[in-house]
Amino acid sequence: MIELRHITKRCGTTLALDDVSLDVRPGERLALIGENGAGKSSLMNVLYGLYQPDAGEVCFDGRAVKVKTPAEALVRGVGMVHQHFTLVPTLTVTENVVLGHEPTKGGRLDLARARREVDATCAKFGFQLDTGAVVRELSVGSQQKVEIVKALHRGVKTLILDEPTAVLTPQEADELFAVTRRLSDEGMAVVLISHKLREVLSFATRIAVLRRGKKVGERTPAETTEDELARLMISGDVPLSPQRGEDRGEGPKPIRLSLTNLSAPGLTNVSLDVRAGEILGIAGVDGNGQRELAEVVTGLRPWTSGTFTLDGRALTTWNPRLAHQSGLAHIPEDRLRRALISDLTVEENVSLGRHQSAPFAKGPFIDFTQRRTITTALLEANDVRPREPELRAGGLSGGNQQKLVVGRELDAKPKLLVVVQPTRGLDIAAVAAVREKLFAERQRGCAVLLVSLDLDEVLELSDRVLVMYAGSISGEFQKGEFDERVIGRRMLGVKDA
Amino acid sequence: MRKALPSVLSVVSAIILCFFAAALTRDFGTAVDAFLAMWWGAFGDWPKFFETGSAATILRPLGEAGTKAAILTFTGLSVAVAFRVGLFNIGAQGQLVVGALAAAVVGAKVNAPGFVHVTLCLAAAAAAGGLYALIPAVLKLKRGVHEVISTIMLNWVAISLVDNWLVIGPLKATASGDNSISGTDQILPSAELPRLLGETSRLNFGLVLALFAALGTWLFLTRFTRGFEWKAIGLSQDAARAAGIDVDRGFLEAMVLAGAFAGLGGAVLILGTELKYPATLGAPWGFDGIAMALIGQGHPLGVLAISTLFGGLRAGGTRMQLFGVHKSFPELIQGLALLLVAAKLLWERLLRKRGTP
């Protein structure tokens, strides 16, 4: 049994962990939930030896131990699978698993023995993996299994999984839970870091809730509900999930964006239409062409063949500037790379993209007065905190940065909106605010192309869903006939339903 | 103002460190004398002025300082404007050399009335420098050549071409009488930049030009939408491109302006003090521009201030020799200040990181 006692960890001026105590018991499935930045990962990083606590202690079977490195944690039977995998893509499964403690014969790597041993570990815990396969060629779900096998192969007794389902299809997630359930049945402790309440309730035997670095509650699934957990995670009331507006039944609206047999690096023969007043969702496992699709539509990536039609006009030249002028708005995936410049002030960022024309410019000059007026109004309307136009944009929290980007892009009253991963890394309140804005745009008659890796989000927001696999469209679903299972199979490229 | 602090502190500590270096190698008294001589030589010999009442004791040093400051300001601005879009223009020296040659040639070979002639010379120098800087910009955009590499190499191309061939070959001055002459033909009097202090000092109109250039650049970068675009490009090319800013055009424009500034620095050197393209250009003004831009933190007015200071110290440095202290101390101070500024920026970043996790 592992006890974390009164752990406090300071990061700069903020308390990442504030006197948190938590037990991890053999044979249990403990879920650690909380919003982004609540301290879930920090707490587990302390246990895994990545962080040193400023106060408090880690006890293994009642004895206080200083875990200084992940290697020491592994020796004590603690393994962790991070959100971002730590595999060498060009090595085989076996090589990855034994990396760092390879069996040798006469000073040389004994690969045959390594493979036998890894196969044995897989068999023992019920993993089906081709241990000779090169990791690069495996699906994301299989790569995650490799990570888990890597930990198990070193004989861990406590396995920490950090947001493991974020990148998986529903089928893969089910499989992961089945496997880990077996592990806990055999006496291992499994710690699941998550913010998806539904999966936590169905999987965990015990749930600990963190909020702003403090533990605010412990529950068992039987005695709690999604609602109560959400209330614990965010102090105060849970914002109502935003509602899509009523359809006004005017028949089919005009097609804003139309792609026909479009190909580009990473895309093959993509055809799709987006109508005014419609949210078209693109679902798919990361790296199947969704990003490339968004880049082509926003003018950041040229296409090689096929037609790109906007408002009935086939385009010959297309770039971000023309896109801006044609009424396209873009909420990109990586806001600090493409949407905001962190070393510019908030107001400079608000003008970015529209800086050349009135009201942000007077002839060749910057119109400082108008810029300030518009920024002040925009910060107010979108509840960006703090309301300081002169603050560095990089000084805002992630949620406020995203609200700023969304506010700026929608302020231009776009006709077509391309949104990629709009709520990644945001807290519950900010997620609700962003989704509400998207619904409002839909009602206003804007055509919305939504790309997200979070299938739940795509299903919740979209009127229609396209599934992408290996750069092509592998399925189309209308609202009302969404079936997670079928969509999940399409995401893996399985044709027959 | 707070942002200027690292630069000010760096310069002050560089001066103090160099003072101790001088005191240790010589003796304390000599060091004091030498540094005071440098100071009076830079910004006017005020004690002597109050003693004798001769204005020249102040105006001559100040004039010399201003002359050097003008050239340093231009090359400093050259590096600073390129840096604004995120490009490192190490080629100010080469651009200055071609600009200087263009000014010398137009100044000597073209006949025009005074004001027009000077303008023609300046325009030719700016054009030559600008075009020369266009080469690395185009190479970067078309072939992906890193501008640091191409600008460094083009420096040597320019120096070899001009100093080692044109000036001692086709453009060599025609000898008259027994006098052996080096460098190109003298420029015509109509091409000379007007002197500001008459016969007292070599101070010329170049300083006014530099002043306007610095002020103009500052206004352009802070008040114009195009200046804002440059800033955005320099801070994040990806975000600028996604916002519809033409990043390639920004690179071209900034490099051409950078080259033009370096070329004008060359023109001020020729039309103001040398009056011909000499056998050797003296100080490596273009390379010093890198130090001016960095210590001035890329701010046009910072560049102006730092160039004025070091222009002064350069002018006063020669007087140190009277005390047996080598005249290269100003350069030593400059190098040390640059080093400290670089370290200071690193420092600041460290402090900031600690403050906000």
**pLDDT tens for the 497 residues of chain A, in order:** 899 999 998 876 678 899 999 999 999 999 999 887 788 888 999 999 988 999 999 999 989 999 999 989 999 999 999 877 889 999 999 999 998 888 888 888 888 999 999 999 998 888 888 999 999 888 888 888 899 999 999 989 999 998 888 778 888 888 889 988 999 998 999 999 987 888 899 999 999 999 888 999 999 999 998 888 888 888 766 666 777 776 666 677 899 999 999 999 999 999 999 999 999 999 988 888 999 999 999 999 999 999 999 999 999 999 999 999 999 999 998 888 899 999 999 999 999 999 998 899 999 999 999 999 999 999 999 988 889 999 999 888 788 899 999 999 999 899 999 999 998 877 777 888 889 999 999 999 999 999 998 888 899 999 999 999 999 999 999 988 888 888 888 888 887 64
Arithmetic mean of pLDDT, B44-54: 87
Q: Which residues of A touch B241 (CB under 8 A)?
A: 300, 320
Alpha helices in chain B (DSSP H): 5-25, 28-43, 46-52, 56-84, 92-109, 114-143, 147-161, 206-223, 225-235, 237-242, 247-268, 285-295, 300-317, 329-355
pLDDT attached to residue A297: 96
Say how far apart CA A337 and CA A321 lie, in whole Å: 17
Q: Which residues of B touch A341 (CB under 8 A)?
A: 232, 235-236, 239-240
Contact present, A231 and A429 (Cβ < 8 Å):
no
Nearest C-alpha in B relative to A295? B242
Q: Is pLDDT of B356 > 50?
A: no
CB pairs under 8 A between A and B: 73
Say how far apart CA A240 and CA B44 lie, in whole Å: 74
- In this structure, the dihedral spanned by the alpha carbons of residues A322, A286, A421 and A486, taken in order and rounded to 10 degrees, is 110
pLDDT top residue among B234 and B172: B234
pLDDT attached to residue A215: 92
For A239-248, B110-119, B148-157, which range has the lowest pLDDT when averaged over its residues?
A: A239-248
Q: Domain B2-355 falls in which CATH fold?
A: ABC transporter involved in vitamin B12 uptake, BtuC (1.10.3470)
Question: What are the residue boundaries of the structural domains of chain B, listed by start?
Answer: 2-355
Environment class of A200 (CB within 10 Å of its CB; exposed 0-12, middle 13-18, buried 19+): buried
Rg value, chain A, Cα: 25
pLDDT attached to residue A407: 93
pLDDT attached to residue B268: 96
Residues in chain A whose beta carbon is closer than 8 A to a beta carbon of chain B?
11-14, 298, 300, 319-325, 330, 332, 337-344, 348, 351-353, 355-356, 360-361, 364-366, 395
Phi then psi dihedrals of residue A255, to 5 deg: -80, 125
CB-nearest partner of A341 from B223, B239, B246: B239
Residue B195: how many other CB atoms lie within 10 Å: 15
pLDDT attached to residue A188: 93
Q: Is pLDDT of B355 > 50?
A: no
Reading the block at residue B184, the tokens are: 């190109």
Class for domain A256-491, per CATH? alpha beta
Reading the block at residue B132, the tokens are: 């020369």
pLDDT top residue among B350 and B84: B84
β-partners of residue B195 are: B204
Nearest C-alpha in A relative to B239? A338
Nearest C-alpha in A relative to B352? A12
pLDDT top residue among A242 and B202: B202
Which of A352, A360, A396 has the most B C-beta neighbours within 10 Å, making it the best mutation to test the interface with B? Answer: A352
Task: Please choose, from the candidates A35, A31, A40, the residue with its C-alpha nearest in 3D space to the C-alpha of residue A180.
Answer: A31
Phi then psi dihedrals of residue A277, to 5 deg: 70, 25
B225-235 vs B206-223: helix axis angle to the nearest 10? 80
pLDDT attached to residue A413: 92
DSSP string, A274-338: EETT-EEEEE-STTSSHHHHHHHHHTSS--SEEEEEETTEE-S---HHHHHHTTEEEE-S-IIII
Residue B78 is which amino acid?
A: S
Residue A2 is which amino acid?
A: I
pLDDT attached to residue B329: 85
B285-295 vs B56-84: helix axis angle to the nearest 10? 80
In this prediction the pTM is: 0.82
CATH superfamily entry for domain A2-233: P-loop containing nucleotide triphosphate hydrolases (3.40.50.300)
CB-nearest partner of A324 from B223, B235, B244: B244
DSSP string, B113-171: -HHHHHHHHHHHHHHHHHHHHHHHHHHHHHH---HHHHHHHHHHHHHHHIIIIITTTTT
Tell me how close the Cα of A462 comes to any Cα of chain B, in angstroms: 25
Nearest C-alpha in A relative to B232? A341
Reading the block at residue A373, the tokens are: 């007026």
Say how far apart CA A219 and CA A228 lie, in whole Å: 10
Tell me how close the Cα of B238 comes to any Cα of chain A, in angstroms: 6
Provide the 3-class DSSP secondary structure of residue B340. helix
Tell me how close the Cα of A99 comes to any Cα of chain B, in angstroms: 33
Question: What are the residue boundaries of the structural domains of chain A, listed by start?
Answer: 2-233, 256-491
Nearest C-alpha in B relative to A15? B357
Residue B159: how many other CB atoms lie within 10 Å: 17
Which of A296, A317, A344, A405 has the most B C-beta neighbours within 10 Å, making it the best mutation to test the interface with B? Answer: A344
Provide the 3-class DSSP secondary structure of residue A32. strand
Contact A324 B357 (CB under 8 A): no
Torsion B56-B61-B65-B67 (CA) sign: positive
Q: B357: pLDDT confidence band, cut at 50, 70 and 90?
A: very low
Residue B46 is which amino acid?
A: W
Tell me how close the Cα of B152 comes to any Cα of chain A, in angstroms: 29
Q: Which residues of A touch B245 (CB under 8 A)?
A: 321
Tell me how close the Cα of A287 comes to any Cα of chain B, in angstroms: 20
ipTM of this predicted structure: 0.86
DSSP string, A427-495: -HHHHHHHHHHHHHHHHHT-EEEEE-S-HHHHHHH-SEEEEEETTEEEEEEETT---HHHHHHHHTT--
